Amino acid sequence: MVKSFLIRSYTFLIYFFLYAPILILMIFSFNSSKSRGNWDGFTLKWYAELFQDSQIASALYYTLVIAILSSLIATILGTLAAIGINNMRGLPKIMTLNVTYLPLLSPDIVMGISLMLLFIFIKLQLGFVTMLFAHITFNLPFVVFSVLPKLRQLSNETYYAALDLGATPFEAYKKVILPQISPGIVTGYLLAFTMSVDDFVVSFFTTGSGVSNLAIEIYAMARRGINPKINALLTLMFICIMLLLIIVNYRMSKDSSKENEVRIIK
C-alpha cells in the first residue's frame, strides 16, 4: 500500500514538473496584462490579436501547407520503401535499415546544416521548395518505421493466395496488403505531420527570405521580447499537437487490441 502510494506520488511529481511550465503558459495566455508575473484578469484579447496578425497568419499558412505536403509525400515514399525493405533479406536489409535510422539518430542541427549545404551546392535557392524537401527527408523514417511492423505481422501466404486467384502483383498489394497495413500508414502520416509542425532547427537552416513556419516566427517574436500573443499561439499549438498524439496513440492501442484478439482466436 505504502509502496504503491510512493510510486504514484513520484510519477505525479515527474509529470507535474514536466507540464507545470506549459500549464502556466496556458493560464497566462488569458491574462489581460502583459506582465509575466501578475494576474490582472481574464481576457481573450491576445487570441483576437493573434488571428489579426498578418505575419503569424503567413507563418501558419506555410506551416500547414508544408506539413500537409511533406507528410503526404513522405507517407507515399515511406510506404513504398517499407515494402521494399520488408522484401529484402540478409546484409542489404540490415544496411538499409541502419541508413534509415540515421535521420532519427542524427542531431537536428547536423541535418539542418547538411541539407543547407546540399541545397547551396546544387544551386537550389533556399525557400519554400528547400524547406519542403527538408521536411520530407526527416519525415521519411517515421513513416517507414510505422509501416514496417504492420508488414512484418502479415503472412506471405495472403499475398501469394491473391496471385493464385488471378490478381496481378499491383492488384494484390492494392487490394490485399494496403488495407491491412493502412493503420500503420495513417499513424506514420500523423507522426510526420506532427514532426513537421513542430520542427524549428531544420526549417531555420533550409528556408529563405519571406518563408517561415510558426516555429521560426515564434523564435523571432521571442527575441524581440515576450509578447502575450506568443502564449496564445503556443497554447493553440500545444492543444493541436496533443490532439494529434492522442489520435495516434488511440489508433496504436486499437490496433494492438485487435492483434491480441486475433491471437486469442487462433
Domain assignment of residue 21, yes or no: no
Classify residue 168: in a domain, yes or no: yes
Give me the amino acid identity at 195: M
What does the pLDDT read at residue 168?
Answer: 79
pTM tops 0.85, yes or no: no
Would you write out the chain's pLDDT as a tens digit for each of its 266 residues?
Answer: 677 778 888 888 888 888 888 888 888 888 887 766 677 778 888 888 888 888 888 888 899 899 999 999 999 999 999 988 888 888 888 888 888 888 888 888 999 999 999 999 998 899 899 999 999 999 999 999 888 888 888 777 777 777 777 777 778 787 888 888 888 888 889 889 888 988 889 999 998 888 888 888 888 877 776 677 888 888 888 888 788 778 767 766 766 666 555 455 55
Please check whether residue 76 lies inside any domain of the structure.
yes
Residue 9 located in a structural domain: no
CA dihedral sign of residues 189, 139, 104, 242: negative
Bridge partner residues of 42 (DSSP) = 31
Number of domains in the chain: 1
Within a domain: 219: yes
Cβ-count burial of 42 within 10 angstroms (0-12 exposed, 13-18 middle, 19+ buried)? exposed
Residue 160 lies in a domain: yes
| Domain assignment of residue 149, given as a range | 56-265
Q: What is the pLDDT of residue 10?
A: 86
pLDDT for the residue numbered 119 = 93
- Please tell me the predicted confidence (pLDDT) of residue 114: 92
- Nearest to 201, CA basis, from 125, 121, 114, 140: 114
> How distant, in Å, are the alpha carbons of 179, 190, 254 from that of 261?
18, 25, 11
Say what the pLDDT of residue 263 is.
Answer: 53
For residue 258, what is the domain's CATH number? Answer: 1.10.3720.10
Residue 145 covered by a domain: yes
Q: Decide: helix, strand or coil at residue 31.
A: strand
Per-residue pLDDT at 108: 87
